[in-house]
Structure 1
């Protein structure tokens, strides 16, 4: 078992297109050293025929980090897996869960659940090419193939390759008629199917994904499975990652300390020529549910922040808003 797979429990941030960029991942790592971070899904074609460095580069601070690949050509997936290992990734993951039309047309994502033998062939080639772990992220079913038995057959077929790590989005995907967004919301969650999979295949590492938003929910799922993958909540409310540190008895970092660590990174990225807006969009949720959070978002979104000084001013304004609220609450308490 690899050092990454030995992390107990396995808590991860889901791969999300346009969201889990290297700037977000650097930010996310500041909240929790043990959470496993995933790249956006990268297609094998983009790596082999495009700018591999742009797609594969990451900050060393992001580790432990997993590269998620999209593809169905076993040889191409093996080549990209080897490149990932050489690049320093801790694990490679195959996407068998994305329901978008664009990836279906290229035989990528959830449509592959209908072809377990092909997925097994791909995973076998990937495993043969690398020493790092190879995992699969998939749905509980697609379209008319939505029974527990069909999912179990898919998992068993792939597990014969020696792959032992499955991240299961606890919804089916409807490949015709629903958008990717609707496929994250409309099909009902069937957590019990994922729990049952772990019960029936106790030797496999089973992680659950889909609709998970709180520390309490995470704790509940960990009574049944080996790991929890959190998606959009980890992006919109990143301080959840700090709260999850309780699973390892970690002290939650202060939000302003996180920004103090983030500022040199922002300065470095600006020096490299990155627009400020592509970095600040990832930190809008830092003060979610706190006084002044709306003004924080307004100050940093829509191109409103043009310089590092604008970010510093937004931090000062947040400190002031929180202090004023604390002072008010103290006064109210004193009067009671």
Structure 2
């Protein structure tokens, strides 16, 4: 979720859901230890939030784990699932599935120096190493280092020949393999990831595994997050409306602008908020065309809302005329 699940998106997600565990973008150990920016910054409102790390040097990962715990993160997750060339060149991501002992060493190095959970996100295999035995050998070796929570993307990764986008779509999903993993490792907490787009699917998976991670759908259709607490955690309170979400974001956006930030830093994560709704296209278009302009402020959001509402009203009129031809003028 590089460039997607930044702190602005996570603030919006937390405004919609009290219970969902949020994950950062993958951050490399090199960026944290040697980069000029603050790669560990997050809003206190985001808790519970997990830092997703990229790296393969146990010492560097341990140093980053200590820093993450000091900053207040609730979990540290090692990414062993990202298939991009850039990640492979740095010897981290999905290519590490081929070195399970190294992953175990990395996890132990972190677990030895922090008190918060250290977890792993992986694929079901890489390239031609995609047998169930390969997966169980990987999980078994890493779990011996003390790791008891794995999130498994139910696709293998092709490290050569496919782009990261293609690796999210072309290798076939194999959910039963992840279910079998839970049966064979009942003592571990196993979450499933990949291709999950609605709550019926999530509930079906939860009959077999312990948790569900949703990535692209929760970003492209962010209002999905507003329904998680009711659908999966048994909350009785009604979900926020989409307009409520916008309202909840306004003070945060105002602070961001006052500190010199740009409006589109935040609104780019809000573009999909009215996806599938009448007037949603007008909302997306106005934000896309105006939020990036110098000096753009809250008025852009107010205008986008007004255009969305006008579009919804027009759509309702069109629908009414279709149902009642005699009402046409």
Q: TM-score, normalising length from structure 2?
A: 0.93
1:206-217, aligned counterparts within 5 Å?
Answer: 206-217=190-201
1:146 aligns with 2:126: no
Corresponding residue for residue 288 of structure 1:
275
Unaligned runs of 5+ in 2: none
CA deviation map 1:16-39 (0-9, x unaligned): 000001011111112211111110
Q: CA deviation at 1:324?
A: 5.0
On the 8 A contact 1:277/1:302 being kept in 2, the answer is no
Ranked by relative contact order (alpha carbons within 8 Å, sequence separation 6 or more), the top structure is: 1
1:24 aligns with 2:9: yes
Corresponding residue for residue 254 of structure 2:
267
Q: Secondary structure of 1:33's partner? A: coil
CA deviation map 1:286-331 (0-9, x unaligned): 0000011111001001445622111111122323433555577678
Partners of 1:74 and 1:303 in 2: CA distance: 45
Corresponding residue for residue 12 of structure 1:
none
1:172-321, aligned counterparts within 5 Å?
Answer: 172-245=156-229, 246-250=231-235, 251-304=238-291, 306-321=296-311
Corresponding residue for residue 52 of structure 2:
68
Partners of 2:305 and 2:277 in 1: CA distance: 13
1:57-96, aligned counterparts within 5 Å?
Answer: 57-96=41-80
1:104 aligns with 2:104: no
On the 8 A contact 2:282/2:311 being kept in 1, the answer is no
RMSD of the alignment, in Å? 1.8
Unaligned runs of 5+ in 1: 1-15
Partners of 2:153 and 2:113 in 1: CA distance: 27
Question: How many residues are treated as equivalent by the alignment?
Answer: 320
CA deviation map 1:232-265 (0-9, x unaligned): 1101101111222221233211111111110111
Q: CA deviation at 1:334?
A: 9.0
Partners of 2:111 and 2:167 in 1: CA distance: 30
CA deviation map 1:95-114 (0-9, x unaligned): 10011111111111000000
Structure 2 CA distance for partners of 1:334 and 1:61, relative to 1, 3 Å:
farther
Corresponding residue for residue 163 of structure 1:
147
Partners of 1:137 and 1:290 in 2: CA distance: 33
Of 5, 8, 30, which aligns to 1:45?
A: 30
Partners of 1:325 and 1:213 in 2: CA distance: 26
Structure 2 CA distance for partners of 1:327 and 1:303, relative to 1, 3 Å:
closer
Q: CA deviation at 1:45?
A: 0.5
